[in-house]
Structure 1
Amino acid sequence: MNQLEALKKMTTVVIDSGDVESILKYKSQDATTNPSLVLQAMSLKIYQTLLDEAISYARKIGGNHKKKVENAIYKIMVSLGINILENISGQVSIEVDARNSFDKEASIKQANKLINMFETKGVNRSRILIKLAATWEGIKAAEELEKNNIHCNLTLLFSFAQAKACAESNVYLISPFVGRIYDWYNKNTFINDYSCDTDPGVIAVRKIYYYYKEYNYSTIIMGASFRRKEQILALAGCDRLTISPVFLEELKSSTDFFERKLFCIKKSNKLPEKIRKSDFNWFHNQDAMAVDQLSDGIRRFGADQIKLEKIISSRL
């Protein structure tokens, strides 16, 4: 048995890619996308048909140029999502515009539009996860969406305050970014002798995992954004792990033995006090890494969204 096969017996493995060929190759149950991955996918020749269809759709719907670009983006995201869902048995994550990360109502509106477009094509909403940045507004948008059975994946999660607020808001799934946490500490404090047990990203996910299990929160933990295979194996047993094709290949190519690292523990009968917005802001902002990485992630996803819009705009 190779490491990928062994890992799948402990954890649900999700492919971090919008490329159907990779999804089929690694037999992923679920898939996750973001603006950067959508942008990469649209540069591939096999997806040019989706781009052409989106342009035609936008022209048919009409409106001013800005509205056409917006509708074409929606169409691309939905078409790519359907394309992925045809090749997996589980769920696909589709991200809302990062520029709405601090606008609860705009995030809800975009999420509803995406879900409606999927359902018009016969896709049940249970198979879609709406990805939102784990700002306070994003978390509260997810709380409202979950009440309408629109499941959410809270991404760009770096602080324990974000994780606590997500669980208390009954968010379906969170994606703590292991690699980006590691990157920040490596850049600012320089990690010389690497060890999984001292990796800040691994430590952060383990803390969230045991906290969720202790208080019996239903929110799924999906470790994301890995920089080395060791980080993945150090979280064996986590609810889900979303892994890029590069590391999936590394796992598939190795038969080295490894053990499960995360296990459910004894549950507490009493829930902790709920976090308020003022507390969330205070505790989140006490974590310099989380503040830097959340804002940087939003900027990067926003920039890739703008690049995609420029491609669409030039085609229109």
Structure 2
Amino acid sequence: MNRLRVFLDPFLLALLTTVALASLLPARDAFASFIGVVADAGIVLLFFLHGARLSRQAVLSGAKAWKLHLATLGSTYALFPLLGLGIAMLPGVPPLVGMGLLFLTLLPSTVQSSIAFTAIAGGNVAAAVVSASFSNLIGIVLTPLLVALFMGKVGGGPSLQAVEAILLQLLLPFALGHMLRPWIGDFVARNKDWLGRVDRGSILLIVYSAFSAAVVEGLWRRLSGGELALILALCIGLLAAVLTATWLLGRVLGLPRVDAIVLQFCGSKKSLASGVPMAGVLFPAASVGPMLLPLMLFHQIQLIACAMIARHYAQGKEAAQG
């Protein structure tokens, strides 16, 4: 059953259903304005909860493995963006496809799946918690800066209004959530299941709002089936390149096996949970849908690939111990 859940991720199915709904029944006029306001509130709630969940103790306790964490950050915020910029500038890659793929490469790493796959593979779970958490923490500031730096080179980038929105919708609620953690941390931990559903519901609402605006602006007339196939192929190639690079980097740095596993899993994935609200803040409404398509495809591809790799490592460990 767990394997089936990886290959048929229920949340991805919910996302695809939301995209289909927005394509058939997009929000328009007053309803679109209402949905946009509620989606903005969802973004604030998401980052407030991100801040409340971040454990200061976990960050401090794992700071000693600086070589591993720097390597993970280097993969997430240097290797990925350089590959994304190269893809966006390839001859024959449509601007709409290139911009979406570039935005994907500028996002922080996942948290839950990175930790889960590290645990399955027999890696250093504590270090994975620190690497993934710190990637998300620094990404709140670094991702918008990278968007301004890299996407400006290919015709995009956030406006001054987006900078203000980042401060009010991302940084401020995140900081408030983290400051209130001593008082609300236990409540968040006890109710993580239904708060997780609130997270996912907020993301679905943001996706519906984004794709509604894109559909009204003619998204499916601008993006062909061939371009969707191109996005899929480029996502597979991008993930394969980064998985290979992080595996080689672990060997070059002489990391212990348990830490090399952390580097590969934390350094090769991108966060859908962070990417959806960030896109909603950084880009005009009609542009958010195209920006999210590569991320949604990459999200599922990385789950499948990393699940297979984690099982392979686990079997190797069992064989060595046996």
TM-score by length of 2: 0.26
Higher helix share: 2
Higher strand share: 1
Higher relative contact order (CA 8 A, sep 6+): 2
